[in-house]
Structure 1
Amino acid sequence: MSTRRATIADVAREAGVSGSTASVVFSGKTPVSDATRRRVLDAAALLGYTGPDPRAASLRSGRSGIVGVVFEEHLGTAFQDPVKILMMDGLTDGVAPLGAGLLLLRDQAAVGDTPAALAPTLTTAPLDAAVLIGCSGLLRESLAVVKARGIPVVVIEGDAGEGVPQIRLDNGVAQKHAALHLRGLGHTDVVVLTLPIDKRRTRGWIAPDAEITVDVTRDRLEGARDVYPEAPAYAAAGSSIDEGLAAGRILFSRGTTPPTAVIAQSDLLAAGVIRAAEEAGLRVPQDVSVTGFDGIVVDGLAPYLLTTLVQEPADKGRAAGRAIAAMLEGRPAASMLFTCVFRAGNTTAEASARR
């Protein structure tokens, strides 16, 4: 009994069409009639043909069909963040015309010499291109590896230097808008709750001379301090409701005078701050106003509608995918700056309303 794998030629012969017609049914590059498509697919099913051999396609094109996506944090943590999930949806759309798939990788420095290093890495995986999610100090090593391999690279929310396309938000300008909103409401006692400031992801008050190596965190903090230069800032270890709750418990702890407003650098952090305020017997927004950043849907936040900055993460991912496609096709890929939209919700009110 023969175990030879059926070929496209076998399918064409069985369907009574030319080899080129059978090929385009599977590639989708040229339209064919519904009747012809049905005939070819029925023949393929009969012969057990599941599509072109990807190894042969890779040899012909000289590409692997794989785009690496590098995260600084553990993937489980990354995919608890709705912003990153939406961004990945957009990135998948952006590389779809290439027929490429995504390979999710940890940062090169984070992998190190642990047993996980036996898994595919930026050094060993057969990649056509790479997308770095952020470009903090921890991701610099990954950037160096990609550049050494000579493959196209795009950075989302980070500065990788000249020659590397960047897909970014107007983080500083947007955060300043939220701060101006609070100042217009009469708030003077304001605290900024930030995203992680460095690779250690240490929680705590940020010293005036602290070096902030995460671009998004630094830009948003600078935007807030354009309006509130003396505002104290507290660093969370990540973007989550639990991190916001833990930080809020510090801000609203007994024996301290709570701030009249908190500028949180993500909606998830803001949601945690609101929970902490309620635990402490404070009313939002009568006693404390809270702003977020992202414009995502946070489950269980009702009846609150966050005052926040709305971004479109899927658009950022899509733009990164299109930049990769352009570079692989030998076309220039420009950096892009997306603009956030301020949305006033019911989590902010005049400072004088506090009693």
Structure 2
Amino acid sequence: MSTRRATIADVARTAGVSPSTASVVFSGKTPVTDATRTRVLDAAAALGYTGPDPRAASLRLGRSGIVGVVFIGHLGAAFVDPVVRAMMDGLAEAVAPVDAALLLLRDSAGAAAQGARATTAPIDAAVLVGCTPAMAESLAMLRARGVPVVVIEGDAGPDVPRVLLDNREAQRTLAERVRALGHTEAAIVTLPTHRGGVPGWIDPDRQGQIAIDVVRDRLAGAREVYPHAAVFAAEASSIDAGLAAGRAILADPATRPTAVLAQSDLLAAGVVRAAEELGLTVPGDVSVTGFDGIDVDGLAPFVLTTMVQPAAEKGRAAGAAVMAMLDGEEAPSVCFRSVYREGNTTAPRR
């Protein structure tokens, strides 16, 4: 008879939730609904799971058993954005063998208001989702404490392992496909350029002040093909933010582009809705592309032309790096590649 102790992954599977959701229930630091908490705790009781195994040192003997995940924006993105959710699931799976819990934190500027700071939280390791200049102080303090740090899609210096995506190359590939369809006039919708996400047009000065690596890299890739394209920064990666951006970009027939390149699939879905709201056809009047490769509810009959990224694999790679560093081993940086997927939201220019 097997005597294997149930893990947080077993609890998640039984409760019908993601590993990251089950993990935050036990960390107790991030709000979840009462119904979700009840399902997780009931599943844990049925499996005889009472929390992180103290014998495993919750990662290592004498440590907290908590991996901090530091976000630039609102913590709600971890549960709302499908890409972030898949990445968190991959991370939770990677650290599940030692029952590590995930503690979601905001960067220093946002965390102070919530009473949770990466610099003082009792964590064994930190995974930074992106890295802005504002995180530099927090990063230095974490490393002074001897806390291993991994960055997903950001640059925290040569000594910090990174989990990267080919953002610039992938966005350039997508733009080249659109240009090959005959679209000489295109507009770009970016993800938020700073923490807090102020929407609006990006002029050359603002472009030089973009603080988020993903946004800067994807914009650079699109600019290689469309150097003079108008650029609008969205407030968030959401359908509503894409709708607002699409309205601004497509409102004036005199300056209306025949193609819109959005930096996420959710933004692209919003642009499609804006086009339909204005009586335009997609892709007849305007072609639209996204980025991520997620399933967007309510978008049918449209299937976005997009770049598909391996979100869960990024999370697993970050978790593997954490485990290696806690074992005293070096964790190399890795870079994943996106895959082009043609949908029915792009077509040759009329």
Shorter chain as denominator, the TM-score bin is 0.7 to 0.9
The 3-state SS of whatever aligns with 1:273 is helix
Per-residue deviation, 1:240 = 0.3
**Residue 137 of structure 1 contacts residue 199 of structure 1 at CA under 8 Å; is this kept in 2?**
no
1:81-120 equivalent positions in 2, closer than 5 A: 81-112=81-112, 114=113, 116-117=114-115, 120=116
Letter in 2 for 1:270: A
| Aligned with 2:235 (options 231, 234, 237) | 237
Letter in 1 for 2:217: D
Letter in 2 for 1:333: A
Identity %: 58
**Residue 94 of structure 1 contacts residue 318 of structure 1 at CA under 8 Å; is this kept in 2?**
yes
RMSD over aligned CA atoms reads 2.3
1:193 aligns with 2:218: no
1:211-222 equivalent positions in 2, closer than 5 A: 211-222=209-220
Distance 1:200 1:53 in 2: 34
State the partner residue of 2:33: none
Letter in 2 for 1:93: E
| Aligned with 2:5 (options 23, 26, 35) | 26
| Aligned with 2:294 (options 296, 312, 329) | 296
Cα gap change, 1:279 to 1:321, in 2 (>3 Å): same
Q: Which runs of 5+ in 1 are unaligned?
A: 1-20, 29-44
**Residue 72 of structure 1 contacts residue 138 of structure 1 at CA under 8 Å; is this kept in 2?**
no
Per-residue deviation, 1:152 = 0.3
**Residue 154 of structure 2 contacts residue 213 of structure 2 at CA under 8 Å; is this kept in 1?**
yes
Cα gap change, 1:234 to 1:151, in 2 (>3 Å): same
Distance 1:78 1:51 in 2: 25
Per-residue deviation, 1:141 = 3.4
Letter in 1 for 2:5: F
**Residue 137 of structure 1 contacts residue 198 of structure 1 at CA under 8 Å; is this kept in 2?**
no
How big is each residue's C-alpha offset from its partner over 1:40-84, in whole Å with a ceiling of 9 and x where there is no partner? xxxxx9xxx976995565498122211111112221234210000
Distance 1:281 1:138 in 2: 43
How big is each residue's C-alpha offset from its partner over 1:134-177, in whole Å with a ceiling of 9 and x where there is no partner? 11234333323322222100011111111101101000000001
Cα gap change, 1:185 to 1:129, in 2 (>3 Å): same
Distance 2:218 2:323 in 1: 30
**Residue 131 of structure 1 contacts residue 153 of structure 1 at CA under 8 Å; is this kept in 2?**
yes
1:32-71 equivalent positions in 2, closer than 5 A: 54=53, 58=57, 61-71=61-71
Per-residue deviation, 1:254 = 4.2
Distance 1:230 1:53 in 2: 54
The 3-state SS of whatever aligns with 2:104 is strand
- Tell me the TM-score normalized by structure 1: 0.81
Cα gap change, 1:102 to 1:178, in 2 (>3 Å): same
Per-residue deviation, 1:125 = 2.2
Distance 2:166 2:238 in 1: 22
State the partner residue of 1:251: 249
Letter in 1 for 2:247: R
How big is each residue's C-alpha offset from its partner over 1:269-301, in whole Å with a ceiling of 9 and x where there is no partner? 000000000001110001000000000000001
| Aligned with 2:223 (options 202, 225, 228) | 225
Distance 2:89 2:261 in 1: 28
Distance 1:255 1:292 in 2: 23
Cα gap change, 1:128 to 1:286, in 2 (>3 Å): same
Cα gap change, 1:314 to 1:123, in 2 (>3 Å): same
The 3-state SS of whatever aligns with 1:121 is coil
State the partner residue of 2:137: 141
| Aligned with 2:264 (options 263, 266, 278) | 266
- Tell me the TM-score normalized by structure 2: 0.83
The 3-state SS of whatever aligns with 2:204 is coil
Distance 1:52 1:203 in 2: 42
State the partner residue of 1:172: 168
How big is each residue's C-alpha offset from its partner over 1:172-219, in whole Å with a ceiling of 9 and x where there is no partner? 000001110011001111001101112342111111132111100000
Distance 1:319 1:160 in 2: 17
Q: Radius of gyration: which is bigger?
A: 1
The 3-state SS of whatever aligns with 1:163 is coil
Letter in 1 for 2:145: R
State the partner residue of 2:159: 163
